[in-house]
Structure 1
Amino acid sequence: MPRAITAPFDSDVDLDLGSFLLRRRGAVCVAPGDLLPGPDAWSVRGLVALDADLARRGYLLTSQLRSTLARSAPTRLAEIGDGLLARIDHLLGADREHVPLFRRFPDAVPDHAQLFYSRQIRAFLLNQPRQPCAHCGRRGAEAGIGALAPCAHLLCAACLAGLTAEGRGAECPTCGVSLGSGTYLPEDSPAGRKAAQDFGGERALRPLRLITGDQVTAAMGELHRLLARRTPLSPQDRDDLSALLAHAPDDLPRRLPAQIPVRETKAMVLAALLRRGGAEALPDIAERVDTATDVLRLLWAWSGAEPDLLPATARRLRLRGLSRPLRRGLLEMLENLPPTSLVEDLRRHRSAWLRAGELLHPYEYRQRFPHVTQAFVVLRESDLRTHAVGREVAARVAGPLRVVSAGERTRLGFTGFAGRVESLLAAGDVEGALRVLAGRPGELVRRLHQVLRVHATATPGAPLPSALLDTVAGALARVAPGPLLGAYGALRGQRTAGERRLYFPRGTVSLAHAREDHGTVVPAELAAPVLGAIEAELVRRGGADGERFDVALLDAELVDLVAPFAERAAARTLVCVPRGSRQRLPEGERLRLFLHWMQPEHLRVDLDLSVALYDEHWAFTGLCDYTNLVHGDRAAVHSGDYVSAPPPNGATEFVDLDLAGLAASGSRYAVMIVFSYNDVAFEQLTDAFTGFMDLDGTPSGGSHFHPRTVRQRLDLVGDAKVCVPMIVDLADRRYTWTDLNTGADGGFHSVYRHAAEVGALSRDVLAHFSPENRATLWDIASARAAACADEVVVRGSDGGVQRWRRGGAESAEAFGARLRALRGSDGEADCGLPDLLSGKRAFVALVDGDVPVPEKLSGTLYRLYPGPIDAAPEELERLTAGDLVAGLVPRPRR
């Protein structure tokens, strides 16, 4: 590691919880019990070194956080500072060495910390004047941000004038040092220009704010937000949940919500309770178990596996042993379930329950738990009349169950739910299929596209009957957010016969498959009333909780962010960009892609970083990989091919992209690919991640990996061997974040050999994730804003601000339709965003959190990228994209 940890963390979980607060809330927690009555002189001097180290990574201490840290004892400040830097380095991937094979690819620390910090701040200001004020968070040229002399802390002209009026203008409000006669350091000097040229960095610093109190109290609100999700958690969220459960107070059972909607999340919670209390926790667990599958998921989570019950997980799972009290407690939970549903649940996951039976030993307790024993006899397909245990159990229970073979079920005419629906749809009986599907609204909404397709085939040109539309509307009101948004995306796009359709099978990694669809195209006039019902339902759910806001601030570029889906298979990332979203590339002409991995002992692993290039018609134009280190006139340059990555340093490969050079050479798309040359799955690696950085913002010379310029990082995990992290559109200067894996049967050793397949998949991905074919965060945020606020302010892609006001007689649905389409604006805003939000309770949803912090702002905030608004106080509740989706939980109509 580039920086030694002088004071180690108490445990790995402490590191996870600190990283959780830093990544999720942009905050640092300082316990009041660790603080001295006043600033410590040695700590004040030590903070200068921390300022310099943070600025090097692109971060800035807010004045409140800095003044609080100044009251720490020097040794405690060293622990906090080293821990903070280590967490930032870990998030950025800078906590290890990155040495390219060719040391000069692609073609001295100052002794005084104050001088080093001053040089960095002046370089930041020269390259990007829109830095945040450390005192109030304002930014922009009009704010007059400058570096105070001699401490170099950032302060805007308004704050300086206000402090001067209060008689406090002679000292820096951040560190308290006496200011010089010139107040601000001169920027445009030869030394400043040299620092800007060497240091680079057109990106704004990211403020770190203070959270008072202990980490556990600060994180409990996030625990309840994760437990309220109605979709499976992403790997990053699951890690966060594990850290939060490990730090939860002893009265955790009483703090849990009455219902945890997602079964997998509930299993993680129940396993945490079991680890905490052992057999004493069984009564609390039993209150939350209502199916046999809950017990099965609990066993998987107890054994340290993901409770997804997927075959891929089962192959790697080794069940953890249970003590006799635990076995008896779990068997008693199963015994208390209805016998018929118990048998049905066991047969649904037969192979997993056969393994669980070896752990639970149900026959050992056959007299105490006869129904459970009988269910396992049936599960093992033993005849109750001939099996010794079966005869004994049959005598103790009423109406013993008999195993019916598949052939006998067919002869007797037994047909399952899916079979009945498929039979009715195959016969063109849409009305009958909807009657059956009405009992399972989630299944009905998932099949909406299929139902409308059958209706269009059976009765061409006929509208959807009002009775059937009422049935659909009733199902929409009861379905979870995931199927609702999925149906919305499937129906809103313009479909064509024979088009390529993309599918994502359920699994631990995000594998994608495409095929041609020659089915009947659903006419737009047939889909329109269903789309209208879905849009009305989104607005209704947006305001169903009764919460109101004075104003809503939305970013029009939310339309480029896809609503999260299949988060179970999403990779851990630095910035949680939903899969399929399109984002702007960093300003500048050069990108640096990176890949780092470390192999375990006694196993050689050869990963390769490659870039495949295509023209606007997806014809292959070239590549940059281990077989072709330089493409064109150095438009793409590879750092060299490592064939192993032994510990402790591993190996790193880079590819530099000259965006203008690639476009000039006839390429339109650049597809980033990582694959395992010797067919070792990513999950077998000790560590592996990839990502990209803004090369124009890097200092000249020195290291090839610059943590301050890292824009995205993705962990390589799971049983996949090929990853396609992103697709770059060189013409539009945007990239689509794909986070996809592809099959690697027979090996994937050459991008050139698979260029056609990679191009076809990339084309299908861009078509599938186009905004008109998917539900977006704009759809969710605009529905929420229309339902909860009478005034909505929208910031356009050009920076202009438009205002929408709800009319006195206008319904929320009509207001939502007008806002969603961005029509009927009430004109431009007559003041800046801080003034619009000052003193308001607001719903804020932004792509970039570059809005200065308004005074006395409260409400809720979603932002994708950090910025000055992160310095807002705790009254502004932070949300993630998953939280926005979870807010669409079905609620009864009022």
Structure 2
Amino acid sequence: MCVPEELRQPAADPWSAAGLTALDADLVERGHILTEQLRAALGLLGPADLALTGSGLLARIDAQLGADRKHRPLFHRFPDGVPTHAQLFFSVHIQAFLRNQPRQPCTRCGRTAAEAGIGALAPCAHLLCVSCLEALEAAGEASACPFCGSELTAGTALQAGVTGAPDPRYLAADSRAVRQAAEEFGVQRTLQPLRLAPGGDTRTAALLELDRLLTRRTPLSPEDREDLAALLAHAPAGLADALPAQIPVRETKASVLAAVLSRDPERARTLLAERVDTATDVLRLLWAWSGAEPDLLPASAPRLRTLPRPVRRDLLAVLDALPLAAVAEDLRRHRSAWLRAGELLHPFEYRRRYPNVAAAFVLLRQTDLVEHPVGAEFAEPPAPLRVHKTGTATRLGFTGFGGEVETRLAAGDLAGATAVLARRPGELVRRLHHLLRVHADTAPGAPLPEDFLPTVERALRQVAPGPLLGAYGRLRGPRSAGERRLYFPRGKVALAHAREDGGTLVTAGLSRPVCASIESELLRRAAGERYELAVLDEGLADLVVPFGERATARTLVSVPRGSIQRLPGTGRLRLFVHWMQPEHLRVDLDLSVALYDADWRFVGLCDYTQLVYGDRAAVHSGDYVSAPPPDGATEFVDLDPDALAAAGARHAVVIVFSYNDVSFEQLTEAFTGFLELDAGPDAADAAARATGPYYRKAVRQRMDLAGDAKVCVPMIVDLAERRYTWTDLNTSDSGGFHSVRRHHEEVGRLAADVLAHFSPGSRATLWDLACAVAAAGTDEVLVRGRAGQPVRTWRRAEGEPAGEFASRLRALRSPDGQGHTSTAGLTAALAGRHAFLGLVDGDIPAPDGLSGTAYRLYPGPLDAAPETLDRLTAGDLVARFGPVQAVRPPGADLP
């Protein structure tokens, strides 16, 4: 979080101190807590600024949890009107958390109760461990709270988790109010620390984030694209001169150039020749300039905005300087969009100055040269265009890159097709499976051509991580003849399609050498930064490498599509869908659960037609047929996985569909997800009576429903294993899906195809990437096993090749030792070390002196680590595997 320097005061205001207490109470009720540095920075704000900053923070957290629509501030007129019971409210809730969650870490050092003994200081209730209190005592500073400065008073007894003699500086662990609050809270995760942003001020944090987004080597997610748009809108005046040397993602580059063009046209003109190097870049720029996403999808096609004449000439000059073959190919790839762009650029107005551009547009329009106003000038067109006659028409012809490749493949010429594809490395890597299939068809049992692997290896060095990892997952997975394949066509939403694959099977023996080359390339790209130690979670093998991020939905926890995760807790789940329709448009969304056995035979459902399944193993809250503003409507389904499994159901497919065929993008808002209920129905009912059926502290996942889609399958639950596959996919954009019972065969077939597509070993995972980073960057790796397994150690032997070390680690083969299962030993091992961490759960408290790089899926005490630890998202981790040296042939469009 950013706290602007210009708003901070030399000294804390007493009213702000009272407001901070109220903010503490509001945050802990949402499962968050302020770190020492962030609380100190907030304490220097005046009352009005603190009110604005605190309210904004609470609003953003509520929006992430989906609780913003019905939320009411805990304390009105915050912070001026803080009631006297604010401190009591905070104290009771902190003690309730400690009563239910003994692993809650110290807010100062990150150690847990099991390691250091955690207590709530009296009277302010801020969390501090015994070790930190003793250290303060040794420094003569134990008379006041290190967080808020409150003078410590004598408490009544020892706090929960504190060992040894009672310490009067801690609050009592047991009281009637604490027990009641603990019952309402249920079994909670640890409080999530909120930390001060890098640099501590808005400007520094914004510039760092802008640079991170611009240098990303993978497509931006919807959240990142929104952040980029906001940052560009408020970027400093010298944006053009502050751009990084390379902006790898071409859509991102188009957005930036459009922003510079709007702000400083003269400076932007000099950037066009430097930054635009393909015809498609020009088209993306025109879309971004016109206020649309530069994804070139038909659904995004904007009304093109006119350009100043000098800028039009500059763009035509850029196009004319490119190889004519590349320009003609790019124009044909997006024909309808370029026909509209031609009306804006007027290429024939400057046909003598830019003849190649005029020739490419004549070819695009396929007009008769005899009748064309400039036809005489192309009687002898520039190579590789040629004149040909079709009936009575005389037109320009062109055999493009794609046509040449397909001609060679149809003839079974693997070597020739590979040589042509090598001109575009990304296309070669994307078609590796097809090339191997052609070889298996035309020369079964024969070895690959001698120059095939060297050509592939040269291409692998130049491609972006997306095609590289996609090919790796496709080639290394187990395959069978006639298998069903799942496709995700490019678009704004993830529409999944499946069909049977009747092609020749590519055997493991044929694909193994290519997979080995990809693994070597990953290891080469991972080399660079050295670490003293790596700590990895074996559960990373369940997290699929993110793909199609342009079509991912905004979520609370960024679980990559196709990943498998354990269900939270041991009790029931509460699924939900909330939506609000616009004025004068009725929208009826329905939340349904289809149930299948282990062989995907339909066994029942829980939806608006059947509100209760079995002995209340699944219960629907009832059907809303409209959701008028301002509150909208919410439907729930409670699932008891154990009871459903006992009744013979193995899979539960969660479905949200629009009953009256209104797409999600037309809604004012819509989201779905699930929350965790306590093990027993009585506890859940008590919580519901206290907070309502949707209580934010129990929300575990939330996903926006958006785009031109009408049916969404957010996840598929394995009831027997108590785990779920996060799918985030849509099944249809045409609607007509009004009954799960009527379409249960289609739903079951799609769900089975999805689970097969993402089965273990069939896709590249974050485990593959983490192992490559660890093997290339350190000689010692600690691996946390799944659920209770001991920590195992892998050490690189003297003289052991990095590839062999990576292979051992990736397969969890031949460990060099094993040890403890608690986080205490890992915390001690990380103290003062430069380390790489790849974790599913960020539950390792950050020790003193920790630096390096960390990825974690779920938040935890690790988030309180200082800025010496570089934090990565899944997309950032993938982006680290960008090409070390990208040598792009002239006119080729890197993926």
Q: Give the structure-1-normalised TM-score.
A: 0.90
1:713 aligns with 2:713: no
Structure 1 residue corresponding to 2:488, chosen from 479, 501, 504? 504
Distance 1:610 1:890, change over 3 A: same
Provide the C-alpha distance between the structure 2 equivalents of 1:428 and 1:345, rounded to a whole number of angstroms: 26
2:177 is matched with which residue?
191
Superposed CA offset, 1:133-186 (max 9, x none):
111222242331121222111111211121122222222211121223222222
Give the conservation status (yes or no) of the 8 Å contact 2:272–2:318. no
- 1:728 counterpart SS class: strand
Question: What SS class does the counterpart of residue 270 from structure 2 fall into?
Answer: helix
Query: Hey, what does 1:433 align to over in structure 2?
Result: 417
Contact 1:424/1:433 (8 A) holds in 2:
yes
Match of 1:839 among 827, 832, 839: 832
Q: Name the counterpart of 1:454.
A: 438
Asked if structure 2 preserves the Cα contact closer than 8 Å seen for 1:381 and 1:403, the reply is no
Asked whether the equivalents of residues 550 and 840 of structure 1 are also in contact (C-alpha less than 8 Å), the reply is yes
Question: Is structure 2 residue 237 aligned with structure 1 residue 250?
Answer: yes
Task: Give a deviation string over 1:416-470, Cα, whole Å, max 9, x none.
Answer: 4334444444444433333333333322222222222333344444444554333
Aligned to 2:158: none
Find the counterpart in structure 2 of residue 103 from structure 1: none
How far apart are residue 524 of structure 1 and its match? 2.2
Other-structure match for 1:9: none
2:159 matched residue in structure 1? none
- Bigger shift: residues 343-352 or 659-668: 343-352
Per the alignment, do residues 444 and 400 of structure 1 end up closer, same or farther by CA in structure 2, a change over 3 Å counting?
closer
Contact persistence 2:370–2:394 (CA under 8 A): no
SS at match of 2:437: helix
Q: Can you list the C-alpha shifts for 1:647-695, whole angstroms capped at 9, x where unaligned?
A: 2222211111122221222111111111111111111112111111112
Aligned counterpart for 2:332 among listed residues 337, 343, 347? 347
Contact 2:795 2:816 in 1 (8 A): yes
Question: 2 CA distance for matches of 1:32 and 1:256?
Answer: 25
Q: 1:399 to 1:462 in 2, by over 3 A?
A: closer
Distance 2:388 2:542 in 1: 52
| Counterpart mapping for 1:187-586 below 5 A | 187-211=173-197, 212-314=199-301, 317-339=302-324, 341-363=326-348, 372-373=357-358, 375-390=360-375, 404=388, 415-464=399-448, 467-543=451-527, 546-586=528-568
CA gap of 1:430–1:398, structure 2 versus 1, over 3 A, is closer
Deviates more, 1:726-735 or 1:648-657: 648-657
Q: CA deviation at 1:726?
A: 0.5
Q: What amino acid does structure 1 have at the position aligned with 2:426?
A: G
Residue equivalent to 1:785: 774
How many Å separate the matches in 2 of 1:178 and 1:50? 20
The question of 1:679 aligning with 2:661 is answered yes
CA distance in 2, matches of 1:408, 1:83: 69
> Aligned runs of 1:58-77 on 2, under 5 Å?
58-77=31-50
Query: For the structure 1 residues 535 and 335, does the alpha-carbon distance in structure 2 shift closer, same or farther, using more than 3 Å as the test?
Result: closer
For residues 735 and 837 of structure 2, the distance between their equivalents in structure 1, rounded to whole angstroms, comes to 49
- Contact 1:123 1:201 survives alignment (8 Å): no
Go from structure 1 to structure 2 and tell me whether the alpha carbon gap of 1:398 and 1:67 turns closer, same or farther (over 3 Å shift).
closer
Picking from 879, 882, 893, the partner of 2:872 is 879
Q: 1:439 to 1:353 in 2, by over 3 A?
A: closer
Larger deviation, residues 272-281 vs 777-786? 272-281
Of residues 626, 629, 637 in structure 2, which corresponds to 1:644? Answer: 626
Distance 1:114 1:622 in 2: 50
Residue 795 (structure 2) pairs with residue 805 (structure 1): yes
Q: Which residue of 2 aligns with 1:13?
A: none
For 2:810 and 2:441, the matched residues in 1 are separated by 32
Q: How does 1:547-696 map to 2 (within 5 A)?
A: 547-696=529-678
- Partner Cα separation in structure 2 for residue 793 and residue 667 of structure 1: 38
C-alpha distance 671-458 of structure 1, shift in aligned 2 (>3 A): same
Q: Which moved more, 1:258-267 or 1:398-407?
A: 398-407
- 3-state SS of the aligned residue for 1:803? strand
CA 311–709 in structure 1, closer or farther in 2 if over 3 Å, else same: same
Partner of 2:853: 860
What SS does the corresponding residue of 2:96 show, helix, strand or coil?
Answer: helix
Greater shift, 524-533 or 355-364, is seen at: 355-364
Cα drift, residue 406 of structure 1: 7.9
Three-state SS of the structure 2 residue aligned to 1:29 is coil
On the 8 A contact 2:533/2:780 being kept in 1, the answer is yes
Q: Which moved more, 1:448-457 or 1:654-663?
A: 448-457
Change (3 A) 1:339 1:460: closer
Instruction: State the match for 2:27 in structure 1.
Output: 54
Secondary structure in structure 1 of the residue aligned to 2:732: coil
**Residue of structure 2 aligned with 1:139, choices 106, 112, 120:** 112
Q: Residue type of the partner of 1:483?
A: P
Q: CA deviation at 1:376?
A: 3.6
* Equivalent position SS for 1:589: coil
Which segment drifts farther, 589-598 or 423-432? 423-432
Q: Distance in 2 between matches of 1:293 and 1:485?
A: 24
Query: 1:513: Cα distance to partner?
Result: 0.9
For structure 2, the residue ranges without an aligned partner over 5 or more in a row are: 73-81, 155-167, 888-895
Gap change, CA 1:459 and 1:296, over 3 Å in 2: closer
Gaps of 5+ in 1: 1-27, 100-108
Corresponding residue SS for 2:520: helix
Question: Is it true that 1:729 corresponds to 2:718 in the alignment?
Answer: yes
Post-superposition CA distance 1:290-311 (Å, at most 9, x none): 2222121111112221111122
Letter in 1 for 2:468: L
Report if the CA contact (8 A) 1:148-1:179 is conserved: yes
| Aligned-pair identity (%) | 66
Letter in 2 for 1:179: L
Cα shift at 1:741: 0.5
After TM superposition, give the deviation of residue 871 of structure 1 in Å: 0.8
Paired AA for residue 88 in structure 1: I
Partner Cα distance (2:832, 2:147) in 1: 24
Residue 56 of structure 1: how far off its partner (Å) = 1.0
User: d(CA) in 2 for partners of 1:335 and 1:715?
Assistant: 43
Stretch deviating more after TM superposition (468-477 or 348-357): 468-477
Match of 2:127 in 1: 154
Larger mean CA deviation between 737-746 and 673-682 belongs to 737-746
Question: Are the counterparts in 2 of residues 98 and 652 from structure 1 also a CA contact under 8 Å?
Answer: no
Q: TM-score normalised to the size of structure 2?
A: 0.90
Q: Helix, strand or coil: the match of 1:654?
A: strand
1:357-407 CA distance string (max 9 Å, x none): 33334455567656545544443333444333555x669998997665789
Identify the range of structure 1 (431-440 vs 408-417) with the bigger mean alpha-carbon deviation: 408-417
In the alignment, which residue of structure 2 is the partner of 1:19? none
Secondary structure, counterpart of 1:30 in structure 2: coil
User: Aligned-pair distance for 1:341?
Assistant: 4.1
Is structure 2 residue 108 aligned with structure 1 residue 126? no
Task: Report the CA distance shift for 1:305/1:675 in structure 2 as closer, same or farther (over 3 A).
Answer: same
8 A contact 2:651–2:718 mirrored in 1: yes
* Cα distance, 1:398–1:501 mapped onto 2, change above 3 Å: closer
CA distance in 2, matches of 1:462, 1:218: 57
Say which SS state the counterpart of residue 388 (structure 1) adopts: coil
Match of 2:732 among 732, 740, 743: 743
Cα distance in structure 2, aligned partners of 1:56 and 1:689: 22
2:606–2:618 Cα contact (<8 Å) kept = yes
Q: Distance in 1 between matches of 2:616 and 2:249?
A: 50
Q: Is the 8 A contact 1:618 1:759 kept in 2?
A: yes
Query: Which one-letter code corresponds to 1:549 in the other structure?
Result: Y
Q: Verify the 8 A CA contact 1:502 1:513 in the aligned structure 2.
A: yes
Cα distance in 2 for residues equivalent to 1:762 and 1:236: 27
